[in-house]
């Protein structure tokens, strides 16, 4: 970890947490828009959450197992399993994108998604809706 990474601070985002058992993350991207979908268990029902990142500078979806999350540099800063976070004062945003954008991290049971973007919006979708079709529409807004 670099000295600058010591300044990273992880805070929870006000979005539904991913389902711990079957989060099923899907990512679509086009130009400066990135759309993430995942499953969340809400009040006895599983729902799709669609998160659209606006003016995205970079993103990555990495394979993960529960043991490897502890090895992630942000784990010591408060990164937890099955959650959605913003990394304040992000070393990744500073070093790779000249400090532009905010660094977002979503942790799933088998993957880790990161995105640096100017902002995001989220919505809850019924489980039986065609989520990929809805996600692709977000790319062209």
Q: Cα separation of 38 and 40, whole Å?
A: 7
Give tens-digit pLDDT for 7-45. Answer: 889 999 999 999 988 899 999 999 899 999 999 988 778
Say if CB 101 and CB 37 are below 8 A apart: no
- Residue 3 has a pLDDT of 47
Decide if pLDDT at 62 tops 60: yes
Say if CB 105 and CB 51 are below 8 A apart: no
Most confident of the ranges 20-24, 44-48, 80-84, 119-123 = 119-123
Decide if pLDDT at 135 tops 90: no
């Amino acid at each position: 970890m670099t000295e600058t990474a010591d300044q990273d601070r992880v805070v929870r985002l006000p979005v539904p947490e991913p389902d711990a058992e079957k989060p099923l993350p899907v990512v679509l991207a086009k130009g400066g828009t990135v759309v993430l979908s995942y499953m969340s268990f809400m009040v006895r029902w599983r729902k799709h959450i669609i998160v659209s990142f606006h003016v995205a500078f970079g993103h990555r979806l990495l394979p993960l197992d529960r043991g490897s999350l502890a090895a992630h540099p942000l784990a010591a800063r408060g990164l937890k399993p099955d959650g959605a976070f913003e990394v304040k004062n992000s070393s990744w945003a500073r070093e790779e994108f000249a400090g532009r954008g905010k660094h977002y991290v979503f942790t799933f049971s088998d993957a880790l998604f990161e995105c640096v973007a100017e902002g995001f919006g989220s919505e809850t979708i019924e489980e039986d809706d065609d989520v990929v079709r809805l996600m692709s529409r977000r790319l062209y807004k």
